[in-house]
A and B are shown apart, each in its own frame.
Chain A
Amino acid sequence: MITHIDLSSVLRRTVCELYSNLVTRPTGAAVRGEIELQLTELRDRTLTVIDFTNVGLLDFSCADEVVAKLLLRYGADDAPGEAYFLFRGLSESHLDAIESVLERHALALVLQRADGTAELHGTVTAQEREIWSTLYDRGRVSLADLPAALGRLDGDAEAAVDGLRHRRLVMRFDDAYVAVGATP
């Protein structure tokens, strides 16, 4: 299931109708709380598009509260659900703040560019990036095709992709894997 969350609307609804900037920790915590509330209402596996398009400024504190804490919570072993995130509408200054918090927590996310293509941001190894790119390019890779696609032995390939799934950068559908942001 794919859901879309317009952060600007969430900000205006939960904090103040007049605000257009995501600044301060209390604001970030309130916005994240609303996102989490929406996610708990969706019980199945979800891919949520977090849309920054109409957000003016994003400061470091708010980036930490909204982005880092969301990724940390849903990437944890006791995550409340199987949620994946695709970030859209990020400006250069949004990315500045987000890259800093991703680095601080050793996190990564998938960003959708304006042309619809996606790219990885944050802390990823060269191997993780290579695997994610391969899966992204192929759209959907079945378990049976995984070793050949990645050029690895059976167990190695599955373990490597599973690591990315745990980081919420790759989704698993029954017998196949799909990179977050890819078109299956």
Chain B
Amino acid sequence: MTTVINVPPSLDEASFEQVLDQLAPLPGDEKILVDARHTRWASPYGLTALLALAQTRADRPGFTVPEAEDTSSYWARTDFFKYADDLFEIHGSVPKSRTIGESSVLLEITPVSGSGDVHDVVERIQQKAQAILANELNIDNKVTMGFAMTLSEVCQNIVEHAGRGGWVAVQTYRWQKRLGRRVVVIAVCDAGLGFRQSLESAPGWRRSDRWDDAMALEEAVIRGVSRFRDPGRGQGLAGVRKFLGRWDGKLSVRSGTARIAITPTWDEDVPLTERLASFPGAQVQITIPERIVSR
């Protein structure tokens, strides 16, 4: 029997929870069909998380392509189908990926599994990031380096802790509903060990009374704790937080059954969410808003 998992019309970090809620009661080896026929829009988080979802299934899941041509074309331009083709049995017509004409995709979906992948991501992002951050988001040119540094550190989280490959994508779009401004969004999703399991592998680690995914996230994201004893470890996410603090950005990290958010004033997200549907690995989203220039 195949269970159909419905993808919401608008797939982003929040609505992806609907996908996971449908998936949670199913055994890992149950055949599923991810039905995106009625999906009209997806954020980088939504697309990379779908790929990570496929990695968690014992039996290769089915996937039905969005019916709306502009949606499926856009997904093709993000390179979603390039990787989905290996992970899903695709049903429906997949448009050919075009390499030109889409300026909002800063970085197409890119697999990350080793240090070399991080180098490639950073090399690719720099030139395009400089033009888009400065021209479209009114963000100082100097920020390009901090932006690339942030991207490098979150990608390294996969290399160092996930134990398997993940995905990164970067895109800009207008966030009308919440902000009324353009934003640049980085999504990094994997279906690997996750923060709790990674920290549990630290030498001499001992379980505390309240040890769960939420506490593991607090330790890693807020306190910079790492599974490595090296005192220099844990600086990556701390540096990311510092950069985002300076540029009014938002960081959210989901792992296991919990999600933590470092929220700027323009957003009303809750700092910590617990008892979510369980999902392996870590899913990170970083949002940097356009700066309002006073004239």
Please list the residues of chain A having a beta carbon within 8 angstroms of any beta carbon in chain B: 16, 18-21, 23-27, 56-61, 64-65, 68-69, 91-93, 96-97, 100-101, 104-105
Contacts and interface: CB of A to CB of B under 8 A. Distances in A.
Contact of B152 (A19, A57, A65, A91): A57
Interface stretch (B31-39, B171-179, B232-240, B285-293): B232-240
Contacts of A101: 232, 235
A100 B115 contact: no
Contact of A59 (B126, B149, B160, B238): B149
A64 B232 contact: yes
Interface in B132-149: 142, 145-146, 148-149
Contact of A104 (B146, B148, B235): B235
Nearest to B239: A60
A69 B149 CA distance: 19
Contacts of B116: 16
Closest 5 CB pairs of A and B: A93-B145, A64-B232, A60-B239, A24-B115, A59-B152
B156 interface: yes
B238 A92 contact: no
B274 interface: no
A61 B153 contact: yes
A19 B120 CA distance: 9
Contacts of B238: 60, 100
B126 A56 contact: yes
Given A21-B123, A24-B159, A93-B145, A104 B232 contact: yes
A105 B231 contact: yes
21 contacts: A16-B119, A21-B122, A23-B119, A23-B152, A24-B115, A25-B115, A56-B126, A58-B149, A59-B153, A59-B239, A60-B236, A61-B152, A61-B153, A61-B235, A61-B236, A64-B233, A65-B232, A68-B232, A93-B142, A97-B149, A100-B242
A26 to B, nearest CB: 4
B146 A61 contact: no
Most buried by B among A24, A69, A92, A97: A24
Main secondary structure of the interface of B (DSSP, over half): helix
Given A59-B152, A64-B235, A92 B142 contact: yes
Contact of B239 (A18, A19, A100): A100
B170 interface: no
Contacts of B189: none
Most buried by B among A19, A23, A27, A68: A23
B118 interface: yes
A111 B122 CA distance: 26
Contacts of B232: 64-65, 68-69, 101, 104-105
Interface string B203-243: 00000000000000000000000000001110110110010
Contacts of A27: 115, 119
B235 A100 contact: yes
B146 A24 contact: no
Interface in B41-61: none
Given A61-B236, A96-B146, A104-B232, 6 more contacts: A19-B123, A24-B159, A60-B149, A69-B232, A93-B149, A101-B235
Interface in B86-117: 115-116
A60 B153 contact: yes
A61 B156 contact: yes
B112 to A, nearest CB: 11
B128 to A, nearest CB: 14
B156 A24 contact: yes
Given A57-B152, A61-B156, A69-B232, A20 B239 contact: no
A105 B116 CA distance: 27
A48 B116 CA distance: 29
B78 to A, nearest CB: 23
Contacts of A69: 232
A104 B237 CA distance: 13
Given A57-B152, A59-B153, A19 B235 contact: no
